[in-house]
Amino acid sequence: MDLHQIWSSLREGLLATTPLEFIAVFFGIASVIYSRKENILVYPTGIVNTTIYIYLSIAGGLYAEAGVNFYYTVMSVVGWVLWAQKRAGENVLHITRSSAREWLAASTFFGVCWIALWYVLQRFTDSTVPIADGFASAAAYTGMWLMARKKLENWIWWIVTNIASIPLYFIKGYVFTSFQYLVFLVLAIMGYVEWRKKLKV
C-alpha cells in the first residue's frame, strides 16, 4: 500500500466514522492526558471511552479488544479507588519504579495473557487477526495493571500497545480510532518522560 492509498483510506475512514466513535476517541484522549498529569479524572473519562469500545470492538470482530476494554472498565474502578486513597490529607499511592521482580511478574503476566488470548481467538472465534489482537490486548492488560499501581513502566506497556493497535484498527476500518492510537503513542511517550521527571523531584 503506497502513501496515496493510505491517505485515501484515511480520508474514507474519517468520513465513515460514527458519532459514537468520535465520542469514544475524545474521551480516550482526555483520559490519557489526565493520566499523564497524574489526575484522577483519568478514570471517569476512561470509563466512558472503554464502555463504548466494548460495543465497537464486538461489532468489528476484535473480540480480545472487547475483552480488554471490559478489563479496562473494571480496572478503572479499582484504580479510581486506589488513587483516591489519602492519609493525613496526602495521596497514599505515589509513582514508583518496578523492581526486577515486578518486571518479571509483569512480563510473565503479559506472556500468559498473549498465549491465552491467541488460543481463545484462534480456537473459538472468527477473528482474522488472533496473534495481533491478542498481543495488543495482552500489552494493554499489563499497562492497565501497572497504571493502577502508579508504576512508571505502565507507559512502556502503553507505548507497545499503541504501536500494535495503530495498524490493527486501521485494517479493521476504524481509521479514526487508528489515528487515536497514534495520538496515544505520542502522549504515552510524553507521559513516560513526565512521570520519570516526577520520580527525580
Residue 54 within any structural domain of the chain: yes
Residue 106 within any structural domain of the chain: yes
Q: pLDDT digit string (tens) for 67-121?
A: 878 988 999 999 999 999 988 778 888 999 999 999 999 999 999 999 999 999 8
Q: pLDDT digit string (tens) for 171-197?
A: 877 777 788 889 899 999 999 999 999
Output 157 or 86, whichever has higher pLDDT: 157
Whether residue 151 is predicted with pLDDT greater than 90 in this model: the reply is: yes
Residue 15 within any structural domain of the chain: yes
Residue 142 within any structural domain of the chain: yes
Q: How many domains does the chain have?
A: 1
Residue 30 within any structural domain of the chain: yes
Residue 91 within any structural domain of the chain: no
**Domain of residue 153, residue span:** 3-86+96-200
Residue 19 within any structural domain of the chain: yes
Residue 51 within any structural domain of the chain: yes
Q: Which three cell numbers stand for residue 160?
A: 507497545
Lookup result for grid cell 495503530: 166
The whole-number pLDDT of residue 68 equals: 79
Kindly report the number of other CB atoms within 10 A of residue 186's CB atom. Answer: 12
The whole-number pLDDT of residue 12 equals: 72
